[in-house]
Structure 1
Amino acid sequence: MKKTLISLTLATLMTSGLASAMPSEGKVRADMGITESNLLAADQNRYTYKNMQEFMKTKNIDSGVMAPILLEQADKPLGDVEFTYDGKKMNLQNMLKDHRADAFIVLKDGKVVHEQYFDGQNERTKHQMMSVTKSFTGILAATLVAEGKLDRDALVETIVPELKGSAYGDATVGQVMDMTNNVKYSEAYENPNAEVFQHMKTIGFAPMEEGYAGPKTIREFLKTLQKDGDRPHGEEFHYISANTDVVAWIIENVEGKSFDQIMSERIWSRIGAERDAFVIVDGEGTELASGGLNATARDLAKFGQMLADQGKNLNGEQVLPTKAIQSTQAGGAPEAFEKGGYSHHGMTGWSYRNQFWHTDNANQAYTALGIFGQWIYVDPTENVVIVRQSSAEASIDDIRDAEMVSAVNAIIEKLK
């Protein structure tokens, strides 16, 4: 999808890679009944998730000059998959329709065994990925750690002085990457008073009401966050989007570049992407590294395959350090995850590492997850990658998440 609301001059700059710092302007579509208040709602998201540049300010993530790597088709397709959840027999096709999937791709040994689109989406559609974005941010941080440029034990305030005195100042980089730091922040989307909604206001996912006097940018907001009591950092998993935007701030300060540039140079221009991606930004151009990535399902599958192949793209070229992949694949601390109360969604025994959800199963499989049904599942042992893009009715649905886990397990088993 090409940018809307963009001049010929800016388009020319984009092709030369000189305009990565220039956000495109979004707008509300009142003619479609879409406003800041309902942009993510079930009645609107089947359109908005496929067309986010119409509504949000964004920056391009350049795929570079590398020739796209075209995905090969496997000799034997996956076919439909039957599985059982909670004593109920189900099949993949019915589940995808029920979950309002927009795209579903499965790779085995780097080849497509299943590719399917729904509701008008196609292989060119750049779909909103919500918190799947976090995993891109996390693997970039893990890359800097592997290269010796970033120390997981360093205090955040030594890299981002602006956060001294906030909840983040005396947390370590690793604690924020693995979300075991102590911050007063609620991710409860059903609660309009939760901190997540103030966070969302800074980028336009929620409206700033008349007379609003709170922070108006992502980084203004991050500086306001304080600890929740005296719980020590590092003991309990607490999933919050603000952490990822802090990690992105750290990455930018270490690299001396913007997040979109780093994403392009480190990942998107090297995986053989067929199309540019884009990321949502706030009013001053800071990227929403916690939930703003939009990309095609095919290119996301290539990212997942690169992880499964220990950092190599489909041409066998090293994209990210093997150490960064191994660190992620090793998983986090299940005891901290359990303390955080996240052993649901079919996630009993899981952990969290480098902004990925880790199954801690025998295959060392892990996944990037986003609300409203976004997945990139990586099984490095069986060399299977599964990408799902969805416009689900609910932001979080325990039952449907558990159904998806059961479906994934059945797919892995069928492809053995």
Structure 2
Amino acid sequence: MEVNADNWQQPPFNRWAYWHIEDILPTQPILRGTGPVRALPAVEALDPLQVNVIRSNGEEATVADVLADTYTDAYVVLQDGGLVAEWYGSEGAADRPHATMSITKSVVGAVAGVLADRGLLDVGRPVVDIVGELAGSGYAGATVRDILDMRSGVRFREDYTDPQSEVRLLSDWLGTRGLYEYLVGLSAETAHGQRFLYRSAESDVLGWVCERVSGTPMAELISTLIWQPMGAEFDAEILCDTVGTAIHDGGLCATARDLARFGQLLLDGGVVPEDGDDGVRTVIGPRWLREAWAVDADARSVFIESPNEVSMPGGWYRNQLWFRPGLFGDVLLCLGIHGQMIHVSRRTRTVCVKFSTWPQAQQPRFMQDTLRAFDAVGGALSGRQRMGDKHRLPGIVSGMTRRSGAGNPGQC
């Protein structure tokens, strides 16, 4: 049976498909341009694969064991911007993009941060003042800040197992009438700003807002505001719907090295090294990331009341980024279903990237074991003392279920 638009997310087809999205589905290019590439100099360090880790079930293992057991397609480990380790499965390569799923949300969030820093986007402004087409939807009264932090009152169930959930219905529309046509029909079920609930529709509205205030499509925004200035090495691409709209919640396909560069950009507060008097170039305004890292009582209180407190006890969500207390300090996460992850630790100065093809969209044990493995890698590389085990319960990876037309459902 051939890999196609109906089965590309299903095992065993996904192991090939995630490395060859452009051969299956419509995409738009995200160009790296002709500027300098941010170097990832190789550094001598201990072998991260041999680091010991305690799995979520209490069993001892090595990082190599965890990666082997969690359908890893590729991984990259950086410390202080240096390349410690990288590996690619049989279908992959350092220069081949892989589906990143909902890591896309964090990249779109960074685009919003750049637009806000340049004065083009007011995060306190009502969404419908920017995208008038949403005036009759549940987003009436919501601000850009509400959708950035997934705190609108719109009804949208992110249930991958229910074919009638909103996330599955949205998938149907991508191959028929398009993403934006679906968003205008969503309704509200509670007041805006009072809850945190992970919903892919929020990221899609955010992408629409970014396109409208800039007058530029998302592929070009990512290219000119993030990919080129951060020093990406390779072009990326983004999936689009039947009318050519980029899928802002889960369409990005990129190389592991360039996702590591994006993680390093987040670790370094939005700046990259540059020759000159200052020695750095600002890509994302530093305030954007400082605000995201600086958890407050409001962000914690709404997170506690959400289902994600089970998967990330002590965590919070801000600016399309996840945060959780790790074994060696707080960690920033960019997550996608089927096992896509960027793990950023400020205390250990490490960035770990993992591509995967989990058989199911959500594999709580795989997620928790991977988090523990990357925590342990950071601790071993930095020599830091652990701060206590915060991972008390198995978790759920957030992402996006996707149907690519009228066939069987896939996930993205």
TM over 0.5: yes
- Say if 2:381 is the partner of 1:415: yes
Match of 2:99 in 1: 128
How many Å separate the matches in 2 of 1:147 and 1:323?
Answer: 12
**Structure 1: 5+ residue runs without aligned partners?**
1-31, 205-214
Match of 1:70 in 2: 39
In the superposition, relative to structure 1, how do residues 237 and 161 fare at CA in structure 2: closer, same or farther (>3 Å)? same
- Summarize deviations over 1:247-283 as a string: whole Å, max 9, x none: 0011111111111111111011112211100000112
Match of 1:38 in 2: 7
Q: Helix, strand or coil for the counterpart of 2:272?
A: coil
- Say if 2:288 is the partner of 1:317: no
Question: Retained in 1: the 8 A contact 2:300–2:315?
Answer: yes
- Summarize deviations over 1:280-332 as a string: whole Å, max 9, x none: 01121110010000000001101111111111224432222111222222247
Q: Which moved more, 1:349-358 or 1:378-387?
A: 378-387
Q: Which moved more, 1:140-149 or 1:43-52?
A: 140-149
Tell me by how many angstroms 1:34 deviates.
Answer: 2.7
Question: Retained in 1: the 8 A contact 2:117–2:284?
Answer: no
Question: Retained in 1: the 8 A contact 2:51–2:63?
Answer: yes
Match of 1:222 in 2: 183
Tell me by how many angstroms 1:116 deviates.
Answer: 1.2
- Say if 2:327 is the partner of 1:327: no
- 1:10-409 map, 5 Å: 32-79=1-48, 80-85=50-55, 86-204=57-175, 216-228=177-189, 231-315=190-274, 316-331=280-295, 333-345=299-311, 347-360=312-325, 363-409=329-375
Q: Helix, strand or coil for the counterpart of 1:317?
A: strand
Question: Retained in 1: the 8 A contact 2:110–2:226?
Answer: no
How many Å separate the matches in 1 of 2:194 and 2:45?
Answer: 46
% identity of equivalent residues: 32
How many Å separate the matches in 1 of 2:273 and 2:358?
Answer: 31
How many Å separate the matches in 1 of 2:362 and 2:194?
Answer: 25
In the superposition, relative to structure 1, how do residues 331 and 199 fare at CA in structure 2: closer, same or farther (>3 Å)? farther
How many Å separate the matches in 1 of 2:42 and 2:310?
Answer: 35
Q: Helix, strand or coil for the counterpart of 1:107?
A: strand
Question: Retained in 2: the 8 A contact 1:331–1:360?
Answer: no
Tell me by how many angstroms 1:93 deviates.
Answer: 1.0
How many Å separate the matches in 1 of 2:293 and 2:42?
Answer: 27
Tell me by how many angstroms 1:360 deviates.
Answer: 4.8
Tell me by how many angstroms 1:190 deviates.
Answer: 1.2
Tell me by how many angstroms 1:157 deviates.
Answer: 0.7
**Structure 2: 5+ residue runs without aligned partners?**
275-279, 383-412
Question: Retained in 2: the 8 A contact 1:350–1:360?
Answer: yes
The TM-score with structure 1 as length reference comes to 0.86
How many Å separate the matches in 2 of 1:352 and 1:37?
Answer: 32
Question: Retained in 2: the 8 A contact 1:130–1:292?
Answer: yes
Question: Retained in 1: the 8 A contact 2:73–2:89?
Answer: yes
How many Å separate the matches in 2 of 1:408 and 1:97?
Answer: 14
Question: Retained in 1: the 8 A contact 2:46–2:381?
Answer: no
The TM-score with structure 2 as length reference comes to 0.87
Q: Helix, strand or coil for the counterpart of 1:337?
A: helix
Question: Retained in 2: the 8 A contact 1:182–1:227?
Answer: yes
Aligned length: 372
